[in-house]
Chains A and B, each alone.
Chain A
Amino acid sequence: MTANFLIGLREGLEATLVVVLLMAYLVKTGRRSLLPRLWAGVGIAVAVSIAFGALLTFGPQGLTFAAQEAIGGGLSIVAVALVTWMVFWMARTARSLGGELKSQVDKLADGAAWGLVVVAALAVGREGLETALFLWAAAQAAGESSQPLLGALLGLAVAAGLGYLLHRGVLKVNLSRFFTWTGVGLIVIAGGVLAYGIHDLQEAGILPGLHNLAFDVSAAIPPSSWYGTLLKGTLNLSPATTWLEAGAWLLYVIPVLYFYIRANRSAPAKSSGNAVAGNAATSKAA
Chain B
Amino acid sequence: MPGTPLPKMTLPKMTSRRRKSLALVAAAAAVPLVLTGCTDNTKTPGSSASAGPIQVTSNKTECKVSIGSVPSGNLSFAVKNEGTEITEFYLLAEDGLRIVGEVENIGPGLTRNLVVTAPAGKYTTACKPGMQGDGIRAALEVTDSGNKTGVDADFQKLVDTGVQQYTAYVRDQTEQLVTGTKAFADAYAAGDATKARELYAATRMHWERIEPVAESFGDLDPKLDAREADLEPGQEWTGWHRAEKDLFPPAGYTALTATERAKIATQLVSDTEELGKRTRTVVLPADKLGNGAKELLDEVARGKVTGEEEIWSHTDLWDFQANVDGARIAFENLKPALAQKDPALATSLDEKFAALQAELKKYAKGDGFAYYNELGPAEVQQLAALVDALGEPLSKLTSAVVL
Contacts and interface: CB of A to CB of B under 8 A. Distances in A.
The reply to whether chain A is a binding partner of chain B is yes
Interface in A141-199: 141, 144-145, 147-148, 151-152, 174-176
Interface stretch (B10-18, B207-215, B298-306): B10-18
A30 interface: yes
Nearest to B130: A224
B42 interface: yes
Interface stretch (B99-107, B217-225, B322-330, B354-362): B99-107
B175 interface: yes
A203 B175 contact: no
Given A110-B11, A114-B22, A133-B112, A208 B131 contact: no
Interface in A23-82: 28-31, 33-34, 52, 56-57, 59-68, 70-71, 74
Contacts of B1: 98, 174-176, 268
Contact of B112 (A137, A219, A223, A240): A137
Contact of B104 (A57, A130, A176, A209): A130
Contacts of A219: 132
Interface stretch (B113-121, B342-350, B383-391): B113-121
Given A28-B6, A63-B39, A110-B14, A208 B112 contact: no
Given A67-B36, A208-B280, A239-B132, A97 B4 contact: yes
Interface in B124-144: 130-133
Contacts of B132: 218-219, 222-224, 239-240
B38 A134 contact: no
A106 B33 contact: no
Interface in A243-282: 268
Interface string A1-17: 10110110001000000
For the residues of B in contact with A, the DSSP-based class is: mixed
Interface in A100-130: 102, 105-107, 109-110, 113-114, 130
Chain B interface size, as a band, is: 35 or more
A151 B107 contact: yes
Interface string A196-226: 0000000101001111100000110011100
Given A114-B14, A205-B168, A61 B39 contact: yes
A61 B99 contact: no
A208 B175 contact: yes
A134 B108 CA distance: 11
B9 A175 contact: no
A140 interface: yes
A237 interface: no
B113 A4 contact: no
A138 interface: yes
Interface string B66-102: 0000000000000000001110000000000111111
Contacts of B8: 30
A134 B11 contact: no
Contacts of A66: 37
For the residues of A in contact with B, the DSSP-based class is: helix
Contacts of A138: 107, 110
A74 B34 CA distance: 12
**A130, A137, A151, A240: which has the most chain B beta carbons within 10 Å?**
A137
A137 B88 CA distance: 14
A63 B9 contact: no
A65 B175 contact: no
A212 B39 contact: no
B171 interface: yes
A65 B102 contact: yes
A285 B103 CA distance: 41
Contacts of A60: 40-42
Given A3-B107, A98-B1, A151-B107, A211 B97 contact: yes
A124 to B, nearest CB: 15
Contact of A1 (B36, B97, B108): B108
A134 B111 CA distance: 9
Nearest to B23: A44
Contact of A147 (B10, B109, B117, B172): B109
Contacts of B39: 61-64
A4 B133 contact: no
10 shortest A-B CB distances, which residue pairs? A67-B37, A4-B107, A65-B101, A218-B132, A174-B2, A176-B1, A223-B131, A30-B6, A62-B41, A62-B115
9 contacts: A3-B85, A30-B7, A30-B8, A52-B34, A64-B37, A68-B37, A175-B2, A205-B99, A211-B97
Given A65-B99, A66-B37, A205-B99, 9 more contacts: A4-B108, A64-B101, A110-B12, A137-B112, A141-B109, A203-B99, A205-B168, A222-B130, A268-B1
